[in-house]
Amino acid sequence: MCCSLTEVLGAFFRYLLLHNGLNDTSHTYNINLKQDVMKKIIILLAFLIPVLLKAQKMQDLKKYKPEMEISLIGGFQKFKNPDAASAVYGVEVSLQCPLVQSQKAYIRQHFKFTHQQAQKISSTTIEINPQCVILDRSNIKLGIGPGAGLIFANIAEDHKTIFSYGLGTSSAYYFKKISIGIGACYAMTNKVSYANSKYESAGTARLNNWSSFLKLGYKF
């Protein structure tokens, strides 16, 4: 099932790139198209992965085990608007999704709580990122999936709570119950207005951001 899912997603991504003409020479046009493509990809992953994984024989179902893991995470986060970058750190809790479980494919839920403080912006983020595990060996795992969360941001002394959505991926190597891993995610938001426009000429911002991080975890 994982191989079929990978082929379906690969074909869809190629279709999006060709259909939306991302090679257009207009910079502004490219930005809008890429934003639209990303939304389509996220919507596809959010709905298609559970449907495809659920289309499995009942005899493939296995007894649910949460296999909870708690990880400390630390890395780098960069915002596009306002232009700011800083270290990011936090905690991640992950466990098996009870709704989609089989011997061949499964989804692992990742819940993240992170904080960063740059010169122009400080923020605390709560995020959920269900990942389809596309590689599962005895001591290594790799997953990818859509994410959604809330960003509690402070820019120029103005506090805002913003909904975010994006894509996340992570991999981990296990030494019995201890794991070390890496991860990355890209998040997008709608435009928000700020009372103090010290860093934004138009008084608005779009807190799109990407982050990469290392993880050190313990599996229960």
Query: Using one digit for the tens of pLDDT, what is the confidence trace for 78-107?
Result: 988 778 899 999 999 999 887 766 666 688
The pLDDT, as a whole number, for residue 11 is 54
Backbone φ and ψ for 142, nearest 5 degrees, come out as -140, 130
Higher pLDDT, 98 or 203: 98
* Cα distance from N-terminal residue to C-terminal residue, the chain: 27
Query: What does the pLDDT look like over 135-161, one tens digit per residue?
Result: 888 899 999 999 999 999 987 777 888
Give the C-alpha distances (Å, rounded to integers) separating 193 from 77, 82, 121, 197, 207: 22, 12, 14, 9, 11
Cα Rg for the chain, rounded, in angstroms?
Answer: 19
pTM: 0.71
Averaged pLDDT for residues 196-211 = 70
The pLDDT, as a whole number, for residue 2 is 43
| pLDDT higher than threshold 80 for residue 8 | no
Q: Which residues contact 23 (CB under 8 A, 6 or more apart)?
A: none
The pLDDT, as a whole number, for residue 158 is 79
Report H helices in the chain: 2-19, 27-54
DSSP state, 58? G
| pLDDT higher than threshold 50 for residue 174 | yes
Sign of CA dihedral 16, 14, 8, 52: negative
The pLDDT, as a whole number, for residue 29 is 46
The pLDDT, as a whole number, for residue 22 is 44
Per the prediction, the chain carries an average pLDDT of 77
Give the C-alpha distances (Å, rounded to integers) separating 84 from 18, 20, 81: 32, 30, 8
Higher pLDDT, 105 or 19: 105
| pLDDT higher than threshold 70 for residue 126 | yes
- Which range is least confidently modeled, 51-60, 84-93, 112-121, 124-133? 51-60
The pLDDT, as a whole number, for residue 155 is 77
Higher pLDDT, 218 or 40: 218
